A and B are shown apart, each in its own frame.
Chain A
Amino acid sequence: MKRFVRDNAIGLVFGLLFLIVLIGQAFAGLAVFNEMQRGTGLPDVSFWRYVTSASFGADVAENWQSEYLQFFLFIMLTVWLLQKGSPESKALDKPGRETDEEQKIGRFADDDSPKWARTGGWRTRIFSSSLGLVMGLIFLGSWFAQSVAGVAAFNEEQLSELQDPVSWGQYLLAADFWDRTLQNWQSELLAVASMAILAIYLRQRGSSQSKPVGAPHDATGVEG
């Protein structure tokens, strides 16, 4: 048990923090929602009613989609894009998808390589892109969920202001949808750009995301 926790600490700790923060968001969101309810003369809603509401769903999904977009772009673009001196970049002489030998696939696979890396054909092609593919699909799924929950939350607000609701298609062109979407995208892109650049000159001793403290600023593709 102790060994399991040690060997899986990153996933476990971030998973636990995610749940704690999600519950915190639910309580804070409930307070805001009920303030608006009172403002329109309606009674407070229960915790359960709020966490199953479109308002909570849209707030959650809009953040999920941007996080998965960030990772999707980061995974895909760093195949070709490089950043001299950054531990987030591959070595400067390795842009692109690299050779089968470098990627240990097909006949170059090791004995302990995953089965789909060894078999070749469509299985290896899919497995070779599986990380980006799954991140991209989760991004599209959560962006779609944001649009569905978002239009319901937007229409609830429209009705509370004695205005007509809009269709899903109209909502995709509405300022509210793009405001929610773009405000999340810009922060994710800024975070990636700053991480890639700050990690050239700054160090965090012992972190897998940093170069070793003594590594030169122009050392690229080196992690601590």
Chain B
Amino acid sequence: MIRLRCLTAAFLVWAVAGCSSVGDREAAASEVATRLHAAVDAGDGAAACAILAPGTVESVAEDEPCPEAILDKDLPRPGTVVETSVYGQWAQVKLSDDTVFLGAFPGGWRVVAAGCTPQASRPYDCTVQGE
């Protein structure tokens, strides 16, 4: 009986830790997604590029430096977070006027794609995304 109680306690600790960890990760992803829009809205291309994934920076900076190019991508103005989903190394943040996809990197979440509009049964069409 004592062993069963210990196992139940261990499971609860694990479950609560798991839930709070998911909650923290969702909050962090939402914060990065809103920071991207705020940076672009403020005309701070360097700050926006600093939170893009390396592959996305490369793609954005194809013709001109990333800090200038990102400001020309017609990203929507900052909005409120509607829903955040985190699964493993990926996150999706749905904002009032945009959907942002993020990947997990050693320093935290980075934006892989933004300015995304849904396509029926197909991947989102994004104005900012990696190759």
- On chain A, the number of residues with a Cβ less than 8 Å from chain B's Cβ atoms is 21
Tally the A-B contacts, defined by beta carbons under 8 Å: 59
Contact across chains for B55 and A41 when beta carbons are under 8 A apart? yes
Contact across chains for A156 and B92 when beta carbons are under 8 A apart? no
**With A41-B130, A42-B53, A152-B87 as given contacts, are A162 and B103 in contact (CB-CB < 8 Å)?**
no
Contact across chains for A159 and B85 when beta carbons are under 8 A apart? yes
Q: How far is the CA of A154 from the CA of B70 in the complex (A)?
A: 31
Contact across chains for B92 and A55 when beta carbons are under 8 A apart? no
Contacts of B91 in A (CB 8 A): 159
Contact across chains for A41 and B87 when beta carbons are under 8 A apart? no
Give residues 25-42 of A contacting B (CB, 8 Å): 37, 40-42
User: Nearest CB to that of B121 among chain A residues?
Assistant: A163
Give residues 136-185 of A contacting B (CB, 8 Å): 152-153, 155-156, 158-165
**With A42-B103, A162-B129 as given contacts, are A156 and B88 in contact (CB-CB < 8 Å)?**
yes
Contact across chains for A160 and B90 when beta carbons are under 8 A apart? yes
Q: How far is the CA of A195 from the CA of B63 in the complex (A)?
A: 65
Contacts of A186 in B (CB 8 A): none
A86 to chain B minimum Cβ distance, whole angstroms, is: 40
Contact across chains for B54 and A41 when beta carbons are under 8 A apart? yes
Q: A45 near B: Cβ within 8 Å?
A: yes
Contacts of B92 in A (CB 8 A): 159, 164-165
Q: List 10 A-B pairs, minimum CB-CB distance, nearest first.
A: A41-B55, A159-B90, A156-B88, A156-B87, A162-B123, A155-B87, A162-B124, A42-B103, A165-B85, A41-B130
Contact of A163 among B53, B54, B124 (CB under 8 A): B124
Contact across chains for A41 and B103 when beta carbons are under 8 A apart? yes
Contacts of B118 in A (CB 8 A): 164
Contact across chains for B89 and A162 when beta carbons are under 8 A apart? no
Per-residue CB contact flags for chain A residues 85-129 toward chain B (1 = under 8 Å, else 0) read: 000000000000000000000000000000000000000000000
Q: B113 near A: Cβ within 8 Å?
A: yes
A24 to chain B minimum Cβ distance, whole angstroms, is: 22
Per-residue CB contact flags for chain B residues 107-124 toward chain A (1 = under 8 Å, else 0) read: 000001100101000111
**With A42-B53, A163-B123, A164-B118 as given contacts, are A156 and B103 in contact (CB-CB < 8 Å)?**
no
**With A53-B88, A160-B90 as given contacts, are A41 and B112 in contact (CB-CB < 8 Å)?**
yes
Contacts of A15 in B (CB 8 A): none
B48 to chain A minimum Cβ distance, whole angstroms, is: 18
